[in-house]
Structure 1
Amino acid sequence: MAGSTTKTVYDIFQSMEFGPAPTSSTSTAQAWLDHHSYALGLFIDGKFVRPADRKSRSLLDSKGASMCSIVCAEDDDISQCASSAVNGFKVWSSMNCHQRAKVLLKLVSILGLHGKCVSELCELCEASCSPSTLVRLLQYYSSWAQLRDTLMTNWKPLGVVVVVVSDDSSLFTLFLKVFPALAMGNSVIIVPGHCTAPPALLLAQLFMGAGLPAGAFNVLTGTDVSLGAKVAQNPSISYVTYSGNKQDAVNLRKATAGMGVPVSVSPCIGATCPFIIFESADIDSAVDEVIEAAFKKKKEIHWVLFVQESVLDRVVACFKLRMVRMKCVGLQSTADRVLVDAAVKEAQQQGAMLIQACTAPPSGALYPPTLLWRTAPASPCVVSPSPGPLLPLMTFRSNTEAVTLGNHSPHGLAASIWTEDLTLALETAQSLSVGSVWVNSHSVRDPCLPVSGYKGSGTCTDGGQEGLYQFLHPSSSSSPSLPRSSPLPMDYTKFGTGASPVIIPDESDSASAPKSYLHFVGGKACKSVSGCSVAVQQPGGGGVLAYCPDGGRKDVRNAVEAAIKVQPAWIKKSLSARAQSLNSLAKGLEANSQDIAASVCVQTGLSMDKAEKELELSIARLSDWAAYCDKIQGATLPMPQSGSALSFPEALGVVGIILPDKNPILSLVTLLGAAVATGNAVIMVPSEKYPLPALVFIQVLLASDLPAGLVNIISGRKDQLTVALANHSVIKAIWYWGSAEGCQYLQYTCISPLKTLRLSCQNDDDDEGKDWTQSHPSLLEETWRNAVQWKSVWIPTA
């Protein structure tokens, strides 16, 4: 027809324009808000509560209009909520597994009835979570609720769990922690962000209709994430877990330092993730998917595109074609527009070229999708990307270079790999330091996929069976490793800076003088860099028993350098070779058992019979870890989509271990064996009170076939070495047995870069604390799980 503007299929295909968006209605959600007078209260003890004289916070909808208000909880509300959660835990945990599973499954049918209201409310709040996603979460975790006692024997729930998310987190991120906590029998208090508060309150109401006991699920709202720290102060809280942006994670970790409550964080918002296109990829599909991922109006992560040089021209040509007539993307505010303009201008000054869908408007909270071509790896738009639809593009030549560029980010959340070569895909996936890898796809999320935060992206694992263990503890464990307390008044800059004790030479005969011991660094026995020593006193306050080196920051630096050289090769060794090395170490320990038993006896004052018994247990424990090497590995996972999902444990990297006073040789081989069997390198600090057994153990290490630098032992003052380990950026995890001040210092300090912490407050009474002589399966499994992080790989099929 003459003058017709109707486009043909061919025209649409060439421009790849999106069709008109369907109009949506939010009438059901508005009716629910109207029922609550557009003023939502707290949800405590199974009902909505709106205390008088409370401040409120106004929430805006996706269009910037006022949607409703929420109450800002105060101390009395927190106390009431915690008390309710304790009672709810008693009822919920006393139910059997089948009863808890039935309640979670009933929620599925209730969501089917009220899914429209949930969906519309999420749309109003920009919480981005469909009812079908919540149903999948419920179905998956109700199955684990049913099977907990069958497949996870000898584990029990923690108690009251607090789940905190930042304002920019999604509803899926929130309930990925809530549902497993409930499934394992815990009660939950959530502190949602402003986007997730209304949907969370709606779901709390629906939970009560499913038969969840009053107090098992509670919602506290406030002005910001600082409310989570206030809730953590309550002595009834057993565990705090957080998801959101990094700054709020840092603030929460600092605010909760010294409270004696374990805190795990997953800074998943704002992470920089690599999108890698190899020459063997389907270029058209890859470009379509990266456009969809990178140019969303609201996105949790930032993508950086890496393209193999041989196909760069094809990729750029596809971008130019696909971006024609794409519309501008709305920013959160005009302030974000200023940041975007500054990032683009700076990138251009550094040599980047722009490919834009259209001309950027002169002002306002809109900006066109923009490809920043020829970006430098050190460019601010790559290292610290601004909000907005910006996609930096860099090139690489080889697989090794692609991995190096992909690992350049301080984050380790996820990566997308595009290639038709499966061998190349798997090799790249294993080399990237990220928790999730998607092959020929992106942003695939399912609760069966276990994901750990690598580097600065978290200290816990979410999803899968592995993600359940953060909400459990071994039933054989009698007491928490961190007793509840109030934060100690500390000057963190002065911790561990005390002067070394002065050693005055005596006039004794050199033949009868106390023996001097050495460090073990890089496979060699050596003195401390400072040349200083610490006197080891005899049991009962006698004279000087021996001298050990007084290690410091430079000794730790040398040990880390040796560890990072050897640890990549140790990971690549076959599992049977690792087991053989540990078995050989056990034989060496047995051959030197008399000398080490004598050192335990002399150092601790134990009888020779008890010292020999500890050595027997130590030899058996090393043999246990040798057997563990090739017994617990990853698996294929049952995804609801067509494809293959793989999960496997990986080593943390370099682990710092400050050893306890109790059972000095048994605790040493228990922790050393767990770390080394899983592929880590270790830097061990012997007990300051009983260092000699560990220093005598160096003779066993010298005769072993462990690679030089894999195990390092540095003696000295515990606080000084704790500071050195905490401030070294390469060390990925610290296992600490020591004072309450040391625990608080590590919680406050190990946030940039983020370190995984395993803390135990050690008392002067040796009869208290962890019983190292136990060989209970759950205790060994807990130690093993602390030494690994989990990676999932998703490979779709047609």
Structure 2
Amino acid sequence: MAGSTIKTVHDIFQSMESGPAATSSYATAQAWLEHHSRSLGLFFDGKFVRPADSQSHSLCDSKGANVCSTVCAADDDVSHCASSAVNGYKAWSSLTCHQRAKVLLGVVSALGQHGQCVTELCELCGASCSPSALVRLLQYYGSWAQLRDTLITGWTPLGVVTVVASDDCSLYSLMLKVLPALAMGNSVIVVPGRSTAPPALLLAQLFIGAGLPAGALNILTGSNVSLGAKVAQSPSISYVTYCGNKQDGVMLCKATAGMGVPVSVSPCVGATCPFIIFESADIDSAVEGVLEAAFRKKKEIHWVLCVQESVLDSVVARLKLRMAGMKCVALQSDEDRVQVDATVQEAQQQGATLVQSCAAPPSGAQYPPMVLCGAAPSSPFVVDPSPGPLLPLMTFRSNTEAVTLGNHSPHGQAASIWTEDLTLALETAKSMSVGSVWVNSHSVSDPCLPVCGHKDSGTCTDGGQEGLYQFLLPPSSSPPLPRSSPVSMDYSKFGTAITPVVIPDDADAASAPKYYQQFVGGKACKSVSGCSVAVHSPGGGRVLAYCPDGGRKDVRNAVEAAAKVQPGWMKKSPSARAQSLYSLAKGLEAKRRDLAVSISVQTGLSMDEAEKEVELSIARLSDWAAYCDKVLGGALPVPQSGSALALPEALGVVGVVLPDKNPLLSVVTLLGAAIATGNAIIMTPSQKYPLPALTFIQVLQSSDLPAGLVNIITGTRDQMTAALANHSVIKAIWYWGSAEGCQYLQHTCTSPLKTLRLSCQKDEEGKDGGRDWTQSHSSLLEEMWRNAVQWKSVWIPTA
């Protein structure tokens, strides 16, 4: 018809415009809110609880209209909720695996009936999460609940788990922690963000309706981070895990330091992730993918577009074509608009050119999608992106430069790689320091994929079988940290106590104590300070020897050597690493007499007992050698078309503060766990019994391990702990020491985030938290191995 304004499919395809959006109707969600008088209470003991005289927070939608109010939990509410969770744990964990699976799968039926209400409530609160995604989560973890005792034999639930989320965290990310905790038999206390609180309360109601015991799932609303710290104070809490932005996660770590409860952090919001387009990519698909990722989906992460120079003009031309006519994106507030304007102005001053869909309105909390071409890795709008719809664009020339550019960010959450060359895609994916890699796709999520933030993007693994172990105790686990109140500490002075001076004496040279050296960069050497500390016989009697008094500069030198050699060691084949460990075991056997003497003299054990420890140490190294090529990850059964790989990777440089008990066996157990998985290691021997570790240096000197892979630095425990904690390159710290040391590490190792494995020992009793290093249970090796790796998932779609 002449003059018709109706667009044909051909017209829409040419312009790539989206069709008209359907009008949203929230009738079902509004009815549920009205049923609760638009004032939602807390949820524990299997029902909604509205405390008298409680304060409340108002929740508004994107247009500023009031949605509902939620209660701010008080101290009494926290106490009652913790008691409810303890009772819920007893009832939930006493059920069989089949009974727990039946409850979780029963929630799927409830979502089929009430999915419309869940969808509308999520959209109304700005916490969009489709019922299909929740159904997939429930089906996946329902099956794991069924198979827990079959496939994860001997591991037991932790008890009461607290899940804390920030205000900007999605409901999907929250449930990715709640459901596996429930599936493994734990009870859960959820402290949701403001936007996820109403949908979380609705889901809790559906869980109870599906047969979940009262108290197994509890919801506390309020100011999430401070409330999460209050919940952690309860002695019944076994574990705290957090998802959201990093700032709130750091606050939670600092607030809970010294309470004796493990805390893991998954900063799933606010990371900067690379979107890499190679010249071998399908440019049209890549451009459409980046526009969808950067501008059309709800953004929890910030994308940076990296384009190979040879196709830059082609990519920019297609960006201009595809962006023409795109509508403005709503910002959170007028303050965000001011920040976005300042960012754009700063980018133009630095020489960036703009590609935008339309002119920016003169005022208001809206802004057009915009690409900032000509960005540099150090540009402020790349390092600290603004909240608006801005996409920085950088260029690279070679494949190596693309990897360097992609790894420039301190975050290691995800990356999207676009190329039709599968070899290039896999090589790049392996070289990226991120937890998730999507090839020719982006933002693919499924609970079978392990999500493990690298670098500054997390200290735990969520999703897949690997994500279940954070909610389980192995059969051979050491006792948990003792629950206590944080002590008042001056963190700036921890580890700065003056070491007692060593005064020369007039003893006969033949009977004078021996001076030992430490091991840094493959060489035996003195400490940088040139000072020594005395090593006394059992009971604090005569001086047996002197060892170097190491410190911050020694750690710096060791880290430089370790960081230089670790990437090459990680790239060695598992069989090559195994041969090096077998060789180390043979060297240990050759020095068994010297090592047994050092153990006996240092600890006061009989020679028979000392020789038994050496024999166990030789066997333990052989175990690690055999373990090298036995666990390699593999393909995952994903529901979509395509292939997904789960790959265990080395952490990097690991710092270890060793226990007093079994001073040789503990050394080789932890050393083997670290280097068998591709890490480099810096060890601080027991301050009380350092001689066996120093004697072990002779074995390391004659081994074929690369220089700098293993470093042993002696000194006072607190001083070495502070030096390890404050070095940004060290990725993880395994610590046996005092309660004050544990508190210091929890408070300090937040920038950048470090993975911590903490055990408290009482020096006067010579205990190391109860760990029995002599046991040969397979779960000991598995637990150590899982502590030494981080996971990467690679998603490769097919037609």
Shift of 1:297: 6.7
Q: Secondary structure at the match of 1:441?
A: coil
Please give the per-residue CA displacement for 1:25-54, whole angstroms capped at 9, x wherever unaligned. Answer: 100000000000000000011000001011
Specify the code of the residue in structure 2 equivalent to 1:700. Answer: V
Cα distance in 2 for partners of 1:34, 1:344 equals 43
1:274-319 superposed Cα distances (whole Å, 9 cap, x missing partner): 0000001000010001001101374100000000011001000000
Residue 789 of structure 1 is matched in structure 2 by: 790
Stretch moving more, 293-302 or 66-75: 293-302
Paired position in structure 1 for 2:687 = 688
Q: Secondary structure at the match of 1:747?
A: helix
Structure 1 residue 226: deviation in Å? 1.2
Give, in whole Å, the separation in 1 of the partners of 2:524 and 2:103.
60
Is the contact between residue 161 and residue 188 of structure 2 (CA under 8 Å) also seen in structure 1?
yes
Number of residue pairs aligned between Structure 1 and Structure 2? 797
Instruction: Name the structure 1 match of 2:233.
Output: 233
What's the secondary structure of 1:493's corresponding residue?
helix
Is it true that 1:44 corresponds to 2:60 in the alignment?
A: no
TM-score w.r.t. length of structure 2 = 0.99
Is the contact between residue 280 and residue 421 of structure 1 (CA under 8 Å) also seen in structure 2?
yes
Contact 2:208 2:214 in 1 (8 A): yes
Cross-structure match for 2:290: 290
Residue 414 of structure 1 corresponds to: 414
Amino acid at match of 1:519: Q
Whether contact under 8 Å (1:763, 1:769) holds in the other structure is no
**CA–CA distance in structure 1, aligned partners of residues 260 and 473 of structure 2:** 16
CA distance in 1, matches of 2:189, 2:7: 54
Please state if 1:11 is matched with 2:11.
Answer: yes
Contact in 1 for aligned 2:266/2:459 (Cα 8 Å)? yes
Alignment of 1:414-433 (within 5 A): 414-433=414-433
Q: What displacement does 1:63 show? A: 2.2
Secondary structure, in 3 states, of the residue corresponding to 1:17? Answer: coil
Specify the alignment match of 2:492 in structure 1: 493
* Contact kept? 2:141, 2:179, Cα under 8 Å: yes
1:550-570 C-alpha deviation (Å, 9 max, x unpaired): 001110000001001110110
Q: Distance in 1 between matches of 2:590 and 2:180?
A: 47
Quick one: distance in 2 between partners of 1:233 and 1:153? 31
- CA–CA separation in structure 1 for the residues paired with 2:787 and 2:689: 25
Amino acid at match of 2:546: Y
Q: Which residue of 1 aligns with 2:149?
A: 149
CA contact (8 A) 1:296 1:389 kept: no
What displacement does 1:10 show?
A: 3.4
Match of 1:628 in 2: 627
Q: In 1, Cα distance between the equivalents of 2:35 and 2:718? A: 58
The one-letter code of the counterpart of 1:502 is V
Three-state SS of the structure 2 residue aligned to 1:663 is: coil
Residue 195 (1) aligns with residue 163 (2): no
Aligned residue in 1 for 2:616: 617
Q: Which amino acid aligns with 1:567?
A: Q
Residue 12 of structure 1: how far off its partner (Å): 2.2
8 Å contact kept, 1:273–1:411: yes
Report what 1:729 is aligned to.
728
TM superposition shift of 1:61: 1.7
> What does the per-residue CA deviation read over 1:546-599, in whole Å, with 9 as the maximum and x for residues that have no partner?
000000111000000100111011011111110000000001001101101100
Is the 1:297–1:389 Cα contact (8 Å) retained in structure 2?
no
How far apart are residue 500 of structure 1 and its match? 1.7
Give distance in 2, aligned partners of 1:239 and 1:293. 34
1:538 is aligned with what amino acid?
S
Answer whether contact 1:324 1:357 (CA < 8 A) is retained. Answer: yes
**Whole-angstrom distance in 2 between the partners of 1:464 and 1:732:** 23
Matched, 1:336 2:336: yes
Paired AA for residue 455 in structure 1: K
Where do 5+ consecutive residues of structure 1 fail to align? none
Compare 338-347 and 425-434 and name the one that shifted more. Answer: 338-347
Distance in 2 between the 1:577 and 1:704 partners? Answer: 14
Deviation of 1:478 after TM superposition, in Å, equals 5.9
| Distance in 2 between residues matched to 1:713 and 1:46, nearest whole Å | 53
Amino acid at match of 2:679: N
- Aligned to 1:734, the other structure's residue is in SS state strand
Q: Which amino acid aligns with 1:752?
A: S
SS in 2 for 1:292: helix
- Following TM superposition, by how much is the alpha carbon of 1:351 offset from its aligned partner in structure 2, in angstroms? 1.0
Greater shift, 167-176 or 10-19, is seen at 10-19
* 1:105-137 C-alpha deviation (Å, 9 max, x unpaired): 111111100001001000101111011100000
Correspondence for 1:386: 386
Structure 2 distance, partners of 1:354, 1:553, is 47
* Kept after mapping to 1: 8 A contact 2:478/2:770: no
Q: Could you list the per-position Cα deviations for residues 433-486 of structure 1 after superposition, in whole angstroms to 9, with x for gaps in the alignment?
A: 000000000000000001211011000000000000000011343621x11111
**1:350, 1:376 within 8 Å by CA — same for their partners in 2?**
no
In the alignment, is the contact (CA less than 8 A) between 1:14 and 1:321 conserved in 2? no
Following superposition, the deviation at residue 543 of structure 1 comes to 1.5
Cα offsets for 1:665-720 (capped at 9, x unmatched)? 00000000000000000000000000000000000000000000000000011111
- Contact 1:92–1:186, Cα closer than 8 Å, also in 2: yes
The answer to whether the 8 Å contact 2:685/2:713 transfers is yes
Structure 1 residue 224: deviation in Å? Answer: 3.4
**Structure 2 counterpart of 1:777:** 778
Alignment partner, residue 571 of structure 2: 572
2:580 match: 581
Deviation of residue 766 (structure 1)?
2.8
Distance between the aligned counterparts of 1:492 and 1:122, measured in 2? Answer: 42
1:297–1:330 contact (8 Å) kept in structure 2: no
Distance across 2 between alignment mates of 1:736 and 1:345: 48
Offset at 1:3? 2.9
Matches for 1:205-244 after TM superposition, within 5 Å: 205-244=205-244
Q: TM-score, normalised by structure 1?
A: 0.99
What is the CA–CA distance in structure 2 between the aligned matches of 1:695 and 1:537, rounded to whole Å?
A: 15
Aligned to 1:403: 403
Alpha-carbon distance in 1 for matches of 2:88, 2:775: 33
The answer as to 2:704 corresponding to 1:705 is yes
For the 8 Å contact 2:164–2:224, the answer to whether it is kept is: no
1:376 is aligned to 2:372? no
Change (3 A) 1:611 1:465: same
Distance 1:451 1:224 in 2: 23
State the AA in 1 paired with 2:275: F
Asked if 1 retains the 8 angstrom alpha-carbon contact of 2:89 and 2:216, the reply is yes
Give the secondary-structure state (helix, strand or coil) at the position aligned to 1:266. Answer: strand
Q: Tell me the distance in 1 between the aligned counterparts of 2:587 and 2:193.
A: 55
Counterpart CA distance in 2 for 1:223 and 1:61 is 18
Match of 1:169 in 2: 169
Give the alignment of 1:279-358 within 5 angstroms. 279-296=279-296, 298-358=298-358
CA contact (8 A) 1:297 1:329 kept: no
Counterparts of 1:215 and 1:504 in 2: how far apart (Å)? 63
Asked whether the equivalents of residues 165 and 224 of structure 2 are also in contact (C-alpha less than 8 Å), the reply is no
CA deviation map 1:632-682 (0-9, x unaligned): 111100111000010010000000000000000000000000000000000
Aligned to 1:54: 54
* In 2, Cα distance between equivalents of 1:478 and 1:731: 24
Hey, what does 1:678 align to over in structure 2?
Answer: 677
Deviations 1:181-237 (A, max 9, x none): 000000000000011000000000000111000000000000332110110000000
Determine the structure 1 residue equivalent to 2:557: 558
Name the SS of the counterpart of 1:225 in structure 2. Answer: helix
Q: Is the 8 A contact 2:191 2:224 kept in 1?
A: no
**Structure 1 CA distance for aligned equivalents of residues 737 and 252 of structure 2:** 23
Matched letter for residue 449 of structure 2: L
Q: Which residue of 2 aligns with 1:30?
A: 30
Distance of 1:750 and 1:299 partners within structure 2:
28
Work out the CA distance in 2 between the residues paired with 1:15 and 1:370.
Answer: 18
- Give the % identical residues: 80
Partner of 2:459 in structure 1?
A: 459
Unaligned runs of 5+ in 2: none
Q: CA offset at residue 769 of structure 1? A: 1.7
Match of 1:70 in 2: 70
Q: Which amino acid aligns with 1:769?
A: G
Once superposed, which parts of structure 1, at least 4 consecutive aligned residues long, lie more than 6 Å away? none
Q: Match for 1:558: what amino acid?
A: N
Amino acid at match of 2:780: L
The answer to whether the aligner puts 1:160 opposite 2:160 as a matched pair is yes
Q: CA deviation at 1:730?
A: 0.4
